[in-house]
Chain A
Amino acid sequence: MSESENLIVATQAIPETDDIHGLPALNYSLKSTNLICFLGQRFNISNIYMQMLAGLSSPQSGEVEYFNCEKSTQIAKHFPAIAYLSHDSALLSVLNGLENVKLPALYHQLGTKQQIEKQAQALLDELSYGANHKVLPDFMTVVQKRHLLIARAIILEPKLLFIENPFAGLEFAETRMIEDYLYSLVDQKNITVIASNPNLGFVENYADKIILQSSSGFHFFNDWDRFYFHKQRNKLRF
């Protein structure tokens, strides 16, 4: 896939919601191999736009085009090219960490049992800490669960990973671990990562593109400096 290829193109797209009115239209071309941060002063609104872009909900007006052809709003049709982790995603409580990571690959028959076991083990070995993955999720720390959720999503080798509020509930050191892990997905696995509502430190250090949603509309920034200037000038707080 070329660097500039459009993965998702939103044209005058407004997400469908029951309770929020007057949302601005989004015009955006999402390109491959980027780390994109989606910021907004209201977390749930950023997530609503992310869900629309990922095909989890349909736009009430405008359109979203996927991979230069398909105008479908069902994630299943783009599966497994698009992976989505919502802020409340959870591991299956009856399976241990390793089994959780293997599950989607086994279900979709992406290889033999041995190949998937090897692949899952490799993904877990990439994690920057030594943890026991053969325990049930209830016995794991928040950061371990977050790591496993990301690993479970990328075992399907998606082109795009949408992740809502990736650092919510994490301590500083844990946040750094997830930050590095997300960056490694872009850098080493060529996965385009779109994160909503990350912390500003992450945006400053890693974001290739920043989308800022405000009541007046969307602002797009290609680097931190321009975003920071805009933020300071408009006295925005996150």
Chain B
Amino acid sequence: MFKIICLQFIDVLGRIARQSISTTLELIFFTTTAIRRGFSFIHKDEHNGVIRNSIVTQIIFSGVDSLIPTLLVMSITVAFSVTAQLIITFQTFGSEKEVINLLIHFVAFELSPLLTAIILICRSGSAVAVDLGNMKINKEIRSLELLGVDVMVYLVFPRLLGISISQTALAVYFSTLSLVLGIFFSVFLESASNFKYFFILIESIAPLELVAFLVKNIFFGLIIGANACFHGLRVQVSVTEVPRETQQAIVHSLVMIFLLNALFIL
């Protein structure tokens, strides 16, 4: 009996692993195809404004529109509840350098990109998946293909690029605000001498770490955009597929982003 349960468990695990690997490979293929075709289209038609306009629209939707209401509020709360508390708590038993190290590595390079990615997944990733899913059901995508429009170039590529650029820019914005405002809050809550962290902070950021931070965020954006487009386009005929694929896009994006983040730490 125990042996049968164990075998069934292994069987289920194997199936899940096989499915996950095959979906991930499909996703990688999908992403590389969209990027390859997108860049070759742009290269061929440098003056083609259609793709450029789509990318700009996506940046406005994913990036600019979420700057003020969502990210500003989130960065203020992180600045108050995380950055300021870390400064106040850790400076009692750590050196200035250790406090700054903690702020840069934890708040700026880890927490901020992750929170930005989570906001972008909820806000843009889900919207893109629903949007493409509905377009598929309404036969808008098939109609575009009949006009010789490559969906990978016109719909997927601008979303991938737009979300990547937005993720990177928003992560920089979020990190900066949560650090700067956090130091301000620590000044108000504790002592004016905490202003010193501003100057130490600017000097302590290593260029290589900054590059790694930017690269990580570009990949985060690609993961969010690719999952949203991939799952949105997997919708076939029924409206009931839209919420299911959207849910999968969100969950897969979250899992992949946390895994990638762990890889970057290694």
A interface vs B, CB < 8 Å?
Answer: 56, 75-76, 79-80, 83-86, 88-94, 103-104, 106-109, 113, 149, 152-153, 156
Contact = CB atoms under 8 A, between A and B. Distances in A.
A104 B138 contact: no
> Which residue, of B48, B138, B148, B154, has the highest number of chain A Cβ atoms within 10 A?
B148
Contacts of A107: 48, 50, 147-149, 154
A75 B146 contact: yes
B139 interface: yes
What secondary structure prevails in chain B residues at the interface with A?
helix
B135 interface: yes
Given A79-B148, A106-B48, A113-B49, 13 more contacts: A84-B146, A85-B146, A90-B140, A91-B140, A93-B138, A103-B149, A107-B48, A107-B50, A107-B147, A107-B154, A109-B47, A149-B143, A156-B148
21 contacts: A75-B146, A79-B148, A80-B148, A83-B146, A85-B146, A89-B142, A90-B139, A90-B140, A91-B143, A92-B135, A92-B140, A93-B135, A93-B138, A93-B140, A104-B147, A104-B148, A104-B149, A106-B49, A107-B50, A107-B149, A156-B148
Nearest to B153: A107
A152 B147 contact: yes
Contacts of B154: 107
A92 B144 contact: yes
B203 interface: no
Nearest to A104: B147
Contacts of B144: 92
Contacts, number: 60
Contacts of A153: 147
Interface in B113-165: 131, 134-135, 138-140, 142-144, 146-149, 154
Contacts of B49: 106, 113
Given A106-B50, A107-B50, A90 B148 contact: no
B47 to A, nearest CB: 8
Nearest to B53: A106
Contacts of B149: 103-104, 107
A104 B149 CA distance: 7
A109 B41 CA distance: 11
Nearest to A78: B148
A217 B66 CA distance: 61
Contacts of B146: 56, 75, 83-86, 89
A12 B128 CA distance: 45
Contacts of A86: 139, 142-143, 146
Nearest to A156: B147
